[in-house]
Amino acid sequence: MRNVMTYVEPPSLKSSDDLEGLLRAFFASQMPKPWPSPRVPSRLRLSERPSLSPKRPSLIRSRWALAASVALLFLGSLLLPSRFTENAKPKPFLNAPGTADRSILPPQSKQHETRSDKNDPRLPGEDEDHLPEMDDGVLPFMK
């Protein structure tokens, strides 16, 4: 009697329950543990922060232009009166309503007479007739 090696099949999945158990265990081993938190940026988002710069570059330029204009106007208002006082003495508004009566004013040289006041910065021959016309009470740069 010869010995016959009996071929034994390797163990296999006998039922669907075995397969289901295998699959459940497999997927459980694959899923991350612990379950990770969402990978999003920090709580403070760019949309929550105040905007540091205007969105349109043209807005920046126009604002700078306005600021420069206002600054120039302000400087001009400071500098211009001083230039007027250097160049000419302030003249009373003759014949204007509310002005002083000429008769009580100290005698003045006639308009066409040459001024002898050495402090008068005007050139010889320059008189009030050559001064620019001015509105009553209105300085030129305020027109």
Partner 1 sequence: MSAKPPPADAKRADFEILYERHSREVWALAYARWMNADTALDIMQEAFLRLWKQMESAEPILNPRAWLLRVARNLAEDHAKSAFRRNGTHPPQTMNGVQAQAPLPVESLEREETFAQLREVMEQMSKADREILTLRYALDYETGEIAELLSINATAVHMRLSRARQRLAERLKANGVGQLP
Q: Which residues bind partner 1 (CB under 8 A)?
A: 10-14, 16, 18-32, 35-36, 38-41, 43, 45, 47-48
**What b/e sequence results for 31-48 when a residue is b if at least 16 CB atoms lie within 10 Å of its CB, and e otherwise?**
eeeeeeeeeeeeeeeeee
- CA distances 105 to 36, 85, 91, 136, 140, Å, are 99, 22, 13, 20, 26
For the bound state, the minimum distance from the C-beta of residue 7 to partner 1, rounded and expressed in Å, comes to: 14
Nearer to partner 1, 31 or 138 (CB): 31
For the bound state, the minimum distance from the C-beta of residue 53 to partner 1, rounded and expressed in Å, comes to: 20
Nearer to partner 1, 23 or 65 (CB): 23
Is the C-alpha dihedral spanning 26, 30, 33, 37 positive or negative? negative
Cis (ω within 30 of 0) for the bond into 132?
A: no
Alpha-carbon distance of 129 to 94, in angstroms, equals 12
For the bound state, the minimum distance from the C-beta of residue 17 to partner 1, rounded and expressed in Å, comes to: 10
Nearer to partner 1, 28 or 138 (CB): 28
Nearer to partner 1, 47 or 58 (CB): 47
For the bound state, the minimum distance from the C-beta of residue 55 to partner 1, rounded and expressed in Å, comes to: 16
